[in-house]
Structure 1
Amino acid sequence: MIRRYSVLAALAVLAVAMLVPFAVVTLNAVKSPADYSSGGPLGLPSELYLDGIVEFWNRVGFGGKLWNSLLISGSVAVLATVLSVLNAYALGIGRVRGRMWIMVLFLVANTLPQEALVYPLYYLSKQAGLYDTRLGVIIIFTVIQSAFGTYLLASVLGRFPREILEAAALDGAGKWRALWQVVVPISRPTLGVLLVFFFIWTWNEFFLPLVFLVSNENQTVPVALGVLQGDKMMDATMSSASALLGILPAVAFFLIFQRTLTRGVTMGAVR
């Protein structure tokens, strides 16, 4: 009993430590510059001030940046999950020749820093005519994220019950049908976890979008925030508003799919 309450107390302290910075940013985002100057970052606002949020939204064209991030992150999450399933099905269940070396290759790909990939990806995107396009970034991150997804799913599907696949084969199901009607439905919790992670990871990416999306109309939210951090016209209130607008979509996506994430982690632990 004492251990249980100790764990709950530690988790409560950790939750407070994580929520306090978010609360401070939200407080300063709805605070006027005069209130910030008089009361500091922890002072309460005298009134609800939304001009900082509106001005930042209009200055950077935040609606377009938000759409770019949603389009890129959503597309990468779906495509990388599908590609991971196809690769892992061949490696984990199909048992292709040289499976171990292919898995080592995916493991090495997960450890490569993005800085080492910039020049070859830049050269290839230039040659393919995909530089400074959202499609080019979607392709790059789909491959990068699917490397991790393939490695994870191949390990999971390697322990997939053979009896279920044999029963499906006796019912006349081929490999393709067994994949989409047997393997995918059973692995749905794990796929849901990958989908959420891929979306959030891609949303938070800054370095590669900064290099490959140089046009203002193609930039994502993190790039727009990073570019404007040194703007002399950005006061503390507008900076807080920009940080709040940048993190809210990712937080909302996480909260919407929190049950999917929890179910996938729980089922993985039970197995």
Structure 2
Amino acid sequence: MHSRKQKTLTFILLTVATILTLTPILYVVYLALSAEKVGDTSWFHPENFITAWHQGHFSEYMWNSFRIAVVVVFIALVLSIMSGYALAVLKPRGEKIIFFLFLLGLMIPTEAIILPLYYDFRSLGLTDTIWAVALPQIAQSLAFGTFWMRAFFRNFNPGIIEAARIDGAGNLRIMYQVLIPLAIPALVTLVLLTFMWTWNDFLIPLIMSPSGIVMTAPLGLAFFQGQYTQGSTLLAAGAVWVALPMVIIYFCLQRFFISGMVDGAVKG
């Protein structure tokens, strides 16, 4: 009986949480499909998405966001795997100090370092380039990625690694042929989180591209509100465009994402 009450309470809480989560999302979609003209009482205007796409130049902005996200995810993923493997398996001298230095990257807010970075990049001629936006995000993602992959590599059975060493496998072979295939859920989770953080970032593109040459989708959405429309209909349609890639990627990879989060909660 006690277990049945727990299940009922859990179901009610999850239902309420789902409603609270989906209500604002569904309301934005509702606004995006509403009539733009005042006095038009009809509903379902999918042409609003086409209008917002062209007026807001979202094709250009989303392409910039996609390029930056791919660069950040790829470089941060490779470096996170190598640093996580080194700290968890190789355990060099001063491993704990090195790990805490990586954790320091999670503690320092972007607002504290963005202006010095801007002047450094400007002196190097990197502002208004994809690298000015990508490099700070790579550094931030690497801090979390190292923490994430170290936690997973530390909890693998040492016997697997020792067996591979007996068979003559070196560190690179152990990492790429033995451990990485077993860590696919963790890697997919890291990719999704890094892509999401990079895609949604607002401050770094705003500061690092003052002329707007590398304007990203969230930044373009903010400017779209002030420059092209005063109403909420086209703005909601633009918001749907900006959020759509993340929704598609999550639904395609949700099985691995949930598995990676559960394993991380158990192992980390």
**TM-score calculated relative to the size of structure 2:** 0.91
Query: Residues 88 and 157 of structure 1 are in contact (CA less than 8 Å); yes or no, is this contact kept in structure 2?
Result: yes
Deviations 1:28-56 (A, max 9, x none): 1111134xx559xxxxx624223432222
The alpha-carbon deviation at position 136 of structure 1 amounts to 2.6
Matches within 5 A, 1:11-26: 11-26=14-29
- d(CA) in 2 for partners of 1:230, 1:61: 14
Change (3 A) 1:169 1:54: same
Which amino acid is the alignment partner of residue 8 of structure 1? F
Deviation larger for 177-186 or 45-54: 45-54
2:234 is matched with which residue: 234, 238, 249?
Answer: 238
The alpha-carbon deviation at position 195 of structure 1 amounts to 0.7
Match of 1:49 in 2: 45
Matches within 5 A, 1:59-98: 59-98=55-94
Number of equivalent positions: 264
- d(CA) in 2 for partners of 1:232, 1:138: 28
The alpha-carbon deviation at position 234 of structure 1 amounts to 2.9
Change (3 A) 1:248 1:173: same
- d(CA) in 2 for partners of 1:201, 1:221: 13
Deviations 1:159-201 (A, max 9, x none): 3322111111111111111111111112221111111111111
Matches within 5 A, 1:177-216: 177-216=173-212
Match of 1:42 in 2: none
Where does the alignment leave 5 or more consecutive residues of structure 1 unmatched?
A: 40-44
Deviations 1:118-173 (A, max 9, x none): 12211232233221111332222111101111022223322332211111111111
Match of 1:109 in 2: 105
Change (3 A) 1:93 1:239: same
Which amino acid is the alignment partner of residue 190 of structure 1? A
Query: Residues 152 and 264 of structure 2 are in contact (CA less than 8 Å); yes or no, is this contact kept in structure 1?
Result: no
- 1:250 paired to 2:253: no
Q: Would you identify which runs of 4 or more consecutive aligned residues in structure 1 move more than 6 Å?
A: none
Which amino acid is the alignment partner of residue 56 of structure 1? A
The alpha-carbon deviation at position 216 of structure 1 amounts to 3.7
- d(CA) in 2 for partners of 1:245, 1:27: 14
2:5 is matched with which residue: 2, 5, 8?
Answer: 2
**TM-score calculated relative to the size of structure 1:** 0.90
Where does the alignment leave 5 or more consecutive residues of structure 2 unmatched?
A: none
- d(CA) in 2 for partners of 1:244, 1:31: 13
- d(CA) in 2 for partners of 1:138, 1:6: 45
Which amino acid is the alignment partner of residue 257 of structure 2? L
Query: Residues 89 and 154 of structure 1 are in contact (CA less than 8 Å); yes or no, is this contact kept in structure 2?
Result: yes
The alpha-carbon deviation at position 217 of structure 1 amounts to 4.2
Deviations 1:228-264 (A, max 9, x none): 3333733221121122212122111111111110121
Which amino acid is the alignment partner of residue 245 of structure 1? W
Fraction of identical pairs, as percent: 32
Query: Residues 76 and 139 of structure 2 are in contact (CA less than 8 Å); yes or no, is this contact kept in structure 1?
Result: yes
Which amino acid is the alignment partner of residue 17 of structure 1? L
Match of 1:33 in 2: 36
- d(CA) in 2 for partners of 1:233, 1:191: 40
